[in-house]
Chains A and B, each alone.
Chain A
């Protein structure tokens, strides 16, 4: 039998404000709105059970107060939904929960997602990690580079953090798992669909893989969500290796440029055999070049935390 802790009111209130799991009479708070509200209210649990009039007095904003009340009104529906997700192994972790990854808050601040939907041990996010990102359409050489990166991380007792997509991501993750390492995947594809794969389920069952997404676990993939989750990888990693990027287009390019410009995390880029045209252009933008396998294998040493 599972012994699950009782959820506290602060956590449940935070989830209610931002969740897209069950319908409510008002739109969910976006990340920036959420963080603005949490700047003004220390404990989101204090918002519960209050009337709109009462909240307007505290927040000084009648529209926001009405919206908060409408969001919190979905509490029963959410409780049933959370219980259902728990049954399949999906936990919803709010920014106010102690197991929410601290690095996301530090590096992303108000761009950090209010909620993560998680399967597997979220504690894996506390380990030093090598990020690996790149296009789905990658050359055979690129796949080898990604797998090598995954194995190098394991050799240095690091975890791998990646996006779980076909191509570069899965090559790095699979290689790390095969080498006996641990992996965190931030998914842009629907979590509930991805976790049907038996090999991923076994890795999760052995506490070697944690999959998480800021998006609703049933939501379909889109380019914006791919870019949005890439910043989580950069923020989580000691350094992130871009294996293959197109030029000025695609979520890999956009995510890398955003990470460099906003300082979400350290960015390295592969410039050896099999590199795509976007790779060297990222060096121009400020990413560190890695041009041979020996240097690739030493990457974790150079970035030890």
Chain B
């Protein structure tokens, strides 16, 4: 037998052990990849649709390399949760695979012991692990001394052009730059166009072997419908989901929408659960399992239910809002129908899509002036600076500051110890060219999605063309090919119910317990509780609130809605009087609202607060420290206060600092507990 034939026989035997099928054969391309990695120690890029069998390549390769005395494989994958099945399957096939992630810290010691004893064949870690100092200091040196194969799953994430570029992958890309030849590297992805592939090729080096297959999904029937208003879209979901066979996923763009849609569907008797980046791990696992077992009709998820979630019989993926890029859409909709004959992928597009996508595009990169200010500040201090001190000096919202510092950390401009940051000794400049280039690409993708919704030609072909699939052709299954686009029409009564549902979504606002310097506010001086009628500019009341604030008068509709909300609350002790947050800019707007709400509630209205000085608008102040400084000392109490609990009314809840300060002032002047109510949370 030739060397190549021997290797092929050995690889096939390993595959058969792995899948537990003595007749199994490699699919096209799989053996080429294994041979290039094992015999030639080359770098290989596999661009194949999900289900092609990428895991077979790296498990078989690992088995063969291990038999040749190599160290374990290091596999980096953004979603390890989905790999539980693969790990178990590999174990059965004699390949020992273990994972280190934030959820199994208790097992780390045992895993490290097994690595020490050279018992591990494949170690799976998430890219985020590499940003973790303790992992890098204590674990990595023990696990990586003899890595035989490096696998980067979802490798398109290392490309700026990729639709879901991730900062942690950027560091991984640099690690590849620092890796000499002789170490086999396998990158895999199902969603990469020419530009992304070119980027990955640059990263992986000129001698890269690229294996690329067709990206059609033969079971998937696509449809795309524009339904602009949220109540109509909710009604449509309630009407259509029960008619779809099987179980599936409804994707939303925001966490709030995921919860709202899930709750709405439940009120309509459809078993739906919300799944977002804020859902805790145990709940996520429970939901994944319920979906896996078809115990629920639908999971309403953000992109947190992401890459690689694998349920072969997933029957539908419906988008409640449109993602910002065709490739992102292809990836999400592609979760449907992997192992069944027919599945549906329906895109609904609404009026808010563009605003939300715009926000994602705008906030993808830190603002240049702000980033440069932070770097200059840290360069001057030249030591570790606590984040709240940075916040004090630079006008950036805490959440944005944290994101910016993460970006700067990946850029190598700053380093972090806990919540303290220091300028590194590496040179850094803001890469305007890169920001503009990527932003322009995002805009193009956003436009493509707008065109997709209104397209009259094959939808699958549009997606495959975006992915530069040379075999892209009309699919014959989508609504445009069959001429059977679903109707956007919905039952009017259902729309009204959806409207009422949206309006009934009370938001509970938690009191601020700490000052911006992290000092505690005395419990007796905190706001007891707050409520908001709606989110600013959102479905339900949000749009009307925005319009009426601009017009300078809140209508009786809103007065009635806020009063109704408050009647529904029964805090202990109950509030017995009402006051308003004064403003010099619009002196009557809020007092008039508060007075009318008080009348509806049958409570006395006491205008006891006065604005001591003019302050800039709160939303122009970007962060807590500056907002708190902005309102600190801004209010005086002008009259005697009852010792009973009171309610403060304002139009907007922005940072929460105004209510926090007003509550403090009122409590210090002898009032009982203070509650807050606003029309909208910004």
Contact = CB atoms under 8 A, between A and B. Distances in A.
Nearest to A118: B425
Interface in A25-80: 25, 45, 48-50, 72-80
Contacts of A9: 180-181
B564 interface: no
Contacts of A303: none
B71 A73 contact: yes
Interface residues on A, range: 35 or more
Nearest to B150: A76
A80 B175 contact: yes
A87 B147 CA distance: 22
A4 B174 contact: yes
B182 A205 contact: no
B382 A202 contact: yes
Contact of B411 (A2, A79, A82, A196): A2
Nearest to B384: A196
B183 interface: yes
A81 to B, nearest CB: 8
A77 B140 contact: yes
Interface string B187-222: 000000000000000000000000000000000000
A198 interface: yes
Contact of A76 (B136, B179, B381, B424): B179
Nearest to A12: B180
Given A49-B181, A77-B140, A1 B145 contact: no
Contacts of B136: 80, 84
A201 B431 contact: no
Nearest to B427: A2
Contacts of A257: none
A166 to B, nearest CB: 20
A72 B145 contact: no
A89 B425 contact: yes
B383 A198 contact: yes
Contact of B425 (A4, A12, A83, A120): A120
B652 to A, nearest CB: 37
Contact of A83 (B71, B146, B150, B175): B175
Interface residues of A, dominant DSSP: helix
A24 B74 CA distance: 17
B180 A83 contact: no
A235 interface: no
A2 B220 CA distance: 43
B431 A48 contact: no
A201 B382 contact: yes
B425 A195 contact: yes
A22 interface: yes
Contact of B41 (A6, A23, A49, A202): A49
Interface in A104-135: 119-120
B107 to A, nearest CB: 22
A90 interface: yes
Interface in B429-454: 429-431, 434
A4 B140 contact: no
Contact of A77 (B147, B181, B427, B430): B147
A187 to B, nearest CB: 14
Interface string A183-216: 0000000000001101101101100000000000
A76 B149 CA distance: 9
B23 interface: no
A112 to B, nearest CB: 22
A16 interface: yes
A25 B144 CA distance: 12
A253 to B, nearest CB: 33
B299 to A, nearest CB: 36
Contact of A48 (B182, B380, B429): B182
B426 A2 contact: yes
A101 B160 CA distance: 35
B145 A7 contact: no
Interface in B137-187: 140-141, 144-147, 150, 171, 174-183
B297 interface: no
B412 interface: yes
A219 to B, nearest CB: 15
A88 interface: yes
A120 B71 CA distance: 36
Nearest to A204: B425
B179 A79 contact: yes
A87 B422 CA distance: 12
A72 B180 CA distance: 9
Contacts of A81: 141
Contacts of B429: 1
Contacts of B424: 87-89
Tell me which of B141, B145, B150, B434 has the highest count of chain A C-beta atoms within 10 A of its own C-beta. B145
Interface in B19-64: 41
A233 interface: no
A259 interface: no
Given A76-B183, A87-B412, A1 B428 contact: yes
Tell me which of A7, A16, A73 has the highest count of chain B C-beta atoms within 10 A of its own C-beta. A73
B180 A80 contact: no
B130 interface: yes
A89 B423 CA distance: 10
Contacts of A48: 180-182
A289 interface: no
A291 B180 CA distance: 54
A2 B412 contact: yes
A74 B145 contact: yes
A13 interface: yes
B241 interface: no
Given A74-B146, A76-B144, A76-B150, A89 B426 contact: yes
A86 interface: yes
A123 B5 CA distance: 53
B415 interface: yes
B379 interface: yes
Contacts of B144: 22, 76-77, 80
A80 B71 CA distance: 16
B145 A25 contact: yes
Contact of B145 (A23, A84, A198): A23
B419 to A, nearest CB: 18
Tell me which of B130, B425, B429 has the highest count of chain A C-beta atoms within 10 A of its own C-beta. B425
A32 B71 CA distance: 30
> Which 7 A/B pairs are nearest by Cβ-Cβ distance?
A89-B425, A49-B182, A76-B147, A198-B382, A48-B182, A77-B144, A1-B431
Interface of A: 1-2, 4, 6-7, 9, 12-13, 16, 22-25, 45, 48-50, 72-84, 86-90, 119-120, 195-196, 198-199, 201-202, 204-205
Given A4-B174, A120-B425, 20 more contacts: A1-B428, A2-B411, A2-B427, A6-B177, A7-B177, A7-B180, A12-B179, A23-B145, A49-B41, A49-B183, A72-B180, A75-B180, A77-B141, A77-B144, A87-B426, A89-B412, A119-B425, A198-B382, A198-B383, A204-B425
20 contacts: A1-B434, A2-B412, A2-B426, A6-B177, A9-B181, A12-B180, A22-B141, A24-B145, A50-B182, A72-B182, A75-B179, A77-B147, A83-B178, A87-B409, A88-B426, A89-B425, A119-B425, A198-B383, A199-B382, A205-B382
Interface of B: 41, 71, 74, 130, 136, 140-141, 144-147, 150, 171, 174-183, 379-383, 409, 411-412, 415, 423-431, 434
